[in-house]
């Protein structure tokens, strides 16, 4: 048995790990073909506080039940518009994909990320671009410029499916969501 010491990370190192598990229909049913991993730092705006407070207000019975359930629950992890945009980009290509969250609070949690990355790496990209389909007056946007970043990402897979080579995901957001690109700066793709 290897003895380990559990140590809290510094506050600036604490984060949420988002795993988008890419599920595809194959001959023998649904199969995980890869994972996209990214982290978001825990901040005053992006944290567990609201969900945890609501859950704790339910009383002692709820505290006892938490001992036998996953805690924090997946629904209690922070999730904002940029998370939705990234996840929807993958779901557009692979509709059965799922999202799994993990907290990175201790030194041993950092090893979790390294273990998940210990797979074949398939290079991919996500293109972010504003969507203009809901715009009432296109003339308001004539001559204006908009940021549309392309971010290189890795898909981690136990095997190397050829059809994932060069996979591109398209992440669209409403042109009125001006802060989406700013929030994108808090995302770190592994």
* Residue 46 pLDDT: 92
pLDDT in tens, the chain (190 residues): 888 888 999 999 999 999 999 998 877 788 899 999 999 999 988 988 665 555 566 555 565 565 555 567 888 899 999 999 999 999 999 999 999 999 999 999 999 999 999 999 999 999 999 988 777 777 777 888 888 899 999 999 988 777 788 899 999 998 888 788 899 999 999 9
What is the rounded CA–CA span in Å between residue 132 and residue 129? 10
* Residue 73 pLDDT: 81
- Which secondary-structure segment (H or E) carries 92? helix 81-93
What is the rounded CA–CA span in Å between residue 37 and residue 188? 9
* Residue 47 pLDDT: 87
Residue 128 and residue 181 in contact, taking contact as beta carbons nearer than 8 Å: yes
* Residue 4 pLDDT: 83
* Residue 57 pLDDT: 60
CA atoms within 13 A of residue 135's CA, in its CB half-sphere: 15
Q: Domain map of the chain by residue range?
A: 11-42+78-189
* Residue 68 pLDDT: 53
**Structure token digits, residue 154:** 């890795």
Q: In 3-state terms, what secondary structure has residue 175?
A: coil
Residue 123: closest CA among 88, 90, 156 = 156
What is the rounded CA–CA span in Å between residue 76 and residue 98? 16
**SS3 for 105-162, per residue?**
CEHHHHHHHHHHHCCEEEEEEEEEEEECCCCCCHHHHCCCCCCCCEEEEEEEECCCCH
């Amino acid at each position: 048995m290897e003895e380990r010491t559990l140590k809290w990370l510094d506050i600036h190192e604490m984060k949420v790990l988002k795993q988008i598990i890419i599920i595809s229909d194959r001959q023998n049913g649904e199969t995980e073909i890869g994972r996209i991993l990214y982290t978001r730092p825990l901040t005053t705006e992006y944290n567990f506080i609201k969900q945890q407070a609501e859950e704790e207000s339910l009383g002692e019975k709820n505290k006892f039940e938490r001992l036998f359930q996953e805690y924090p629950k997946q629904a209690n992890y922070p999730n904002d518009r940029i998370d939705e945009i990234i996840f929807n980009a993958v779901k557009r290509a692979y509709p059965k994909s799922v999202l799994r969250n993990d907290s990175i609070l201790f030194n041993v949690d950092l090893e979790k990320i390294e273990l998940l990355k210990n797979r074949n790496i398939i290079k991919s990209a996500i293109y972010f671009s504003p969507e203009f389909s809901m715009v009432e007056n296109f003339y308001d946007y004539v001559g204006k410029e908009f940021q549309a970043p392309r971010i290189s990402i890795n898909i981690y897979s136990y095997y190397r499916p050829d059809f994932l080579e060069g996979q591109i995901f398209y992440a669209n957001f409403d042109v009125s969501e001006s802060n989406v690109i700013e929030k994108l700066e808090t995302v770190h793709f592994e």
